[in-house]
Chain A
Amino acid sequence: MKPEKILKRYGRSGDNLLAILHDIQDASPEHYLSDADLRSAADYLRLPYSFVHGVASFYTMYSLKPRGRNLIRVCQSPPCHLLGSSTISRELIKVLGVGFGETTADRLFTLEMTSCLGVCGVAPAMMVNDRVYGNLTAERIAGIIDDLRRAQ
């Protein structure tokens, strides 16, 4: 959906800013907010561009640079850490060939860290887009990534 269409679904009230940014970013194939997106949100809500930029850069879930089609977020909370999330991270870096905050050359995957996913009972865990994977082992990683590639 085009950003203009998303904007029209909301009233011109400042409290809609976070929801608008979420929707625009979700609709973006590259999961990010471009400078033009921020400007159109600012114009629509009659807010200064600097204010909108301030909000978008404050919250960690908004990205101001393009990302891959699939977002892989590894939980970095202590229960996951105690149960071996660093091994999972190393394996992901190896399989994808990129580090945290980076996107694969085919633009399919971006690797990120996330705050606690709240599934500590099945730690270590990661979230791919909206789906959570638990009880991860290094051996399972390659298979999960392969499945995602095939699903494209």
Chain B
Amino acid sequence: MNKKILKRFDSLRLEGEKARSNVIRPGSTIIQVGSATCENAAGAREIREEFRKHIASSGRADIVLHDVGCTGRCSLEPIVGILRPGERPVKYQQVSREGVHRIFTDHVLHGQPVAELILDGTQKSGSRYEILFCRGERCGNLAARGLQARLRERLEQRGVGADVVAVQGVNFADMCVGESKFQGGHFLVRPGNHLYRVASDADLERFIDEHLLADRPVQELIVQEQPIGQNFFELYGDISFFNRQSRIALRNSGIIDPTSLPEYLNAGGFHSLARVLAAGDPDGVIAELSASKLRGRGGGGFPTGSKWQMARKEPGGEKYIICNADEGDPGAFMDRSMLEGDPFSVVEGMIIGGFAIGASRGFFYVRAEYPLAIERIENALAACRKHGLLGEDILGSGFSFDLEIRLGAGAFVCGEETALIHSIEGERGQPRIRPPYPSQSGLWGKPTVINNVETFANVPVILEHGAEWFRHIGSDKSGGTKVFALAGKVNHTGLVEVPIGTTLREIIMEIGGGCPKGKRFKAVQTGGPAGGCIPATHADLAVDYDTLTAMGTIMGSGGMIVMDEDDCMVDIAKFFMKFSADESCGKCTPCREGSKRMLEILERITAGEGREDDIAKLERLGLLMKRTSLCGLGRAAANPVLSTLRHYREEYAAHITEHRCPAKRCAALVRYSILADKCVGCTACARNCPANCIAGAAKKPHAIDPERCIKCGRCFRVCRFGAVERN
């Protein structure tokens, strides 16, 4: 162990602490505003400016505006957090300019939270204390469940009511897994953020007597070490969307200022790097990663430790490490969020990777559609160089390593690793045949490791808390958590990070809140255009790389597009096939021609012109593409079609033989008509018809001219009498 390196790191951390406390002095009131692309797009820029003006005119130096990344609660952005010293943090949703004024005067200045703007309507109870009790659902710690019930009983017996304390059950998957043999429970008490570990009824009594009734926290029962997700829970633990998640890769998103190195250091950042460099044992790093069962988060799920090992044992001096941030799957945005919300963790993971495989140069390959992410990485790299965390002789260890940014230019196929390499080399982003794999011969023919953003973000945490801890969180074959991007017909769109092996039902129905407007959940598309659909009947599937593959889909980068009863599976398959046909690079024939022909068949099926043998043709072409395409894009392009054929063959058949779209989505197969006995002649449909094809006198039944109808469905939606029929 090289003590000099650790000492140098400690002084860097102290320096950071000083720098941070100059910005946020103890005792300040902090106003947190999200500053990611999604937040800005929802209006966070204006909100920030408005708060700035309010702070300036109040003349108060102890009110600080703090930019943070995005928490992943996208549909309710912009989100604002108010942290008054000694009080529970409060988050507000969909804050407008008027909202800023109220929050600032009522809450920031006078300590009265604005109840109706609070995120998800939490904290209305008004109790003095709040207890977030881990239910132990994921780790199966039954003792935790028993203790929670007994705490409630005892509170009731003692007459401690809702004015004093509110108890909520949550999932803290990462809080105690390291101590799986511990039979007891954990809970977080706010304000004050004390994490308790209790094992007996006597412990509960002590907690009630001393902490709740006499306001004296019981030091002996308080956990001293800080679990990884604690910062996040302290801020967001009262919100059910968040407290069922386990934030590991997203541990700092929405908590720290992504542009500030001191804040990252303060959150424990770069400690792993310092320890790795001090230990000076690259093989040890790789062994630890292998033992953690971390698998590639970009889609393939290849064990990260094995990939690094392969590159490490290749002979030769020059090697490269690349972060694949060419996030192109429609509906996936976790990489953008991580790079905008916590870029330093990815940088740290890459430096450790560089050290482990023996590289001195690394690259971020980022899509040019993400200008803010690029800016945040540039800022992070500059800060690291300035403080000796990148460049020559990092932390005095003798290890030299630097990172550069390379921009994509709008080509989905560049997410494929060999195409990505060609793009960095300055060529058209076209893939080539593997082997040789990039770990043997990659960028400029040198051994190259390519990992996804999320994979790198996990690396520092694994080395900090140990492989055993990380492996315990996931399933048998894959350790840790996965970040999913929930989008489409789901109530809570956003980022959800849960242990691998969590069921679809928990992700979509419980955390995601199910489908809007009470519609029935029909299916979910995972893995983007390379994945497939899983029907709602399989909602109890534990999500893992292998279980998804067995269902005919893939984990992919973690996009989940939720569909309800109104969505047509043939139409969805057509959408993804169009995407793949557009993005096919054209190099190999099966993909270039296959995707085009499959799209033609799907187009004619949805137009009501399907032929008897079309299903057989789709299957033959799909399998052909799967077996013979050059790269992953072509091999997986048929998945959306093949998986919907597997689960929804009858929908295809209805389109072809009965010329009917069961979901009533395919315009060519839908007919609108007006039921004369229900129509009161209100003229709403006729006034809204963009094609002017509805006729009828006021207060008399109307009629649609089927020849001129463009089937936009507007009449169906505006009719308040159920008189417009859709067949």
Could you list which residues of chain A lie within 8 angstroms of chain B, going by C-beta atoms?
A: 13-19, 21-22, 45, 54-55, 58-62, 77-79, 81-82, 114-123, 125, 127, 130-135
Contact = CB atoms under 8 A, between A and B. Distances in A.
Identify the interface centre among A16, A115, A131: most chain B CB within 10 Å of its CB.
A115
A121 B496 CA distance: 12
Contacts of B567: 82
B425 A118 contact: no
A62 B425 CA distance: 17
Contacts of A132: 37-38, 40-41
Interface stretch (B139-147, B176-184, B368-376, B472-480): B368-376
B488 A78 contact: yes
29 contacts: A14-B425, A17-B426, A17-B427, A19-B407, A22-B407, A55-B426, A58-B585, A59-B408, A59-B410, A59-B411, A81-B575, A114-B410, A116-B329, A118-B327, A118-B335, A118-B337, A119-B333, A120-B333, A120-B487, A121-B73, A121-B74, A121-B75, A121-B77, A121-B333, A121-B493, A122-B74, A134-B42, A135-B41, A135-B42
Nearest to B337: A118
B639 interface: no
B494 interface: yes
B409 A118 contact: no
B41 A134 contact: yes
B554 interface: no
Nearest to A129: B371
A61 B38 contact: no
A17 B426 CA distance: 5
B333 A118 contact: yes
Nearest to B39: A122
B493 A115 contact: no
B545 to A, nearest CB: 23
A79 B72 CA distance: 16
A116 B494 contact: no
B328 A115 contact: yes
Interface in B406-465: 406-412, 423-429
B328 A60 contact: no
Contacts of A61: 368-369, 408-410
A120 B410 contact: no
A78 B331 contact: yes
Contact of B426 (A15, A125, A127): A15
A79 to B, nearest CB: 4
Contact of A58 (B371, B406, B428, B575): B428
Contacts of A55: 426-428
A141 B408 CA distance: 29
Nearest to A17: B426
A79 B409 contact: no
A58 B411 contact: yes
A77 B37 CA distance: 17
A125 to B, nearest CB: 6
Contacts of B335: 118
A45 B427 CA distance: 13
B336 interface: yes
Contacts of B493: 79, 120-121, 123
Identify the interface centre among A122, A123, A133: most chain B CB within 10 Å of its CB.
A122
